[in-house]
Amino acid sequence: MEVIILKEPQQIAKKCADIFQETICQKHNAVLGLATGSTPILLYRELVDRYQKQLLSFENVVTFNLDEYVGLAPEHPQSYSYFMQQHLFKYINISSKNTHLPNGIAQNPIRESREYEEKIREYGIDLQLLGLGSNGHIGFNEPTSSLGSQTRIKTLAQQTIEDNSRFFSADEFQPTLAITMGIGTIMFAKRVVLLAIGEKKARAIQQAIEGPISAWCPASALQMHPHTTFIIDEEAAQFLQMKDYYHWVYKQQQQLLQKLHNEK
Ligand SMILES: N[C@@H]1[C@@H](O)[C@H](O)[C@@H](COP(=O)(O)O)O[C@@H]1O
């Protein structure tokens, strides 16, 4: 498990974009797992920028999003499908047939969840992006979610409904159910990158990285993942007991990479 603590959200976006670029350039048909929420917005801007500078092409890229609200159609402004269009897809050369999100208005959401899971297992995700709920959730896997869970319908925790209420106006319907990849689905990805910014995430970050592996903090399951990178800011890192060590390890790695680069 790698923990990278950076000062500015912009640095976090760039560091994460480097990992995306590496994945996309290394594999012809890279499969990306994408996330929503406010945290990845700067990353998406950075990816669009790199696409416009012709450093990146999404022509052969396939994407799967983590989750979608039950009851919201793709064209609903609060749906995650709409979010992805507005923040990424409409600016890059990705084919709509290659972008996948659960259908929030599927007639049979149970079947929809099962088929979504099957498709993910068939493709295999090369790089999964995650944000973090203030209660430690990933996707919409709320505390007490099974650590082996697959894509299914979840009821949102009160904390999550409150946290996300800022995106909805007072008289607007705010869903309390979502279709989300499970924790087991996320763990199936070859590589995972989790981003967290701000003090609101500090407790959850400490639990996820240094706490016991527990369904009380779904993100703590990542301690079992063979290739996970946390990229977080100083505020989110404030309760980490091993913070100085993580800084030191990262510095050593950077120096080693620089040395290898110079020797090329
Ligand atoms: N389902 C999403 C999560 O995938 C996301 O990580 C979380 C945090 O959002 P934000 O980045 O806005 O704090 O919000 C939602 O609950």
Could you say which of 141, 142, 164, 233 is catalytic?
Answer: 142
Q: Are strands 152-155 and 228-233 parallel, antiparallel or unpaired?
A: unpaired
Of how many residues is the chain composed? 264
Q: What is the pLDDT of residues 14-66, one digit of tens each?
A: 999 999 999 999 998 999 999 999 999 999 999 999 999 999 999 999 999 99
Query: What ipTM was reported for this prediction?
Result: 0.96
Of 16, 34, 36, 177, best ligand 1 pocket probe by most atoms within 8 Å of the beta carbon = 36
* Count of domains forming the chain: 1
Does position 88 have pLDDT exceeding 90, yes or no?
yes
CA of 133 from ligand 1 middle (Å) equals 5
Q: Residue 145 belongs to what domain range? A: 2-263
Please choose, from the candidates 135, 97, 150, the residue with its C-alpha nearest in 3D space to the C-alpha of residue 214: 135
Q: What is the pLDDT of residues 178-236, one digit of tens each?
A: 999 999 999 999 999 999 999 999 999 999 999 999 999 999 999 999 999 999 999 99
Is position 137 annotated as part of the catalytic site? yes
Q: For ligand 1, which residues put their CB under 6 angstroms from it?
A: 35-39, 66-67, 131-133, 139-140, 160, 164
CA of 151 from ligand 1 middle (Å) equals 17
Give DSSP secondary structure letters for 233-245: ETTTTTT-TTHHH
Phi, psi for residue 225 in degrees, rounded to 5 = -85, 135
- Locate the ligand 1 atom nearest the alpha carbon of residue 66 and give its number: 4
pTM value is: 0.97
Residue 134 in tokens: 């203030």
For 185-257, list the strands marked E by DSSP: 191-196, 228-233
Is position 67 annotated as part of the catalytic site? yes
Is position 135 annotated as part of the catalytic site? yes
Instruction: Give the CATH number for residue 134.
Output: 3.40.50.1360
Contact at 8 Å (CB) between 128 and 193? yes
CA of 165 from ligand 1 middle (Å) equals 12
CA of 196 from ligand 1 middle (Å) equals 10
Is position 142 annotated as part of the catalytic site? yes
Contact at 8 Å (CB) between 40 and 83? no
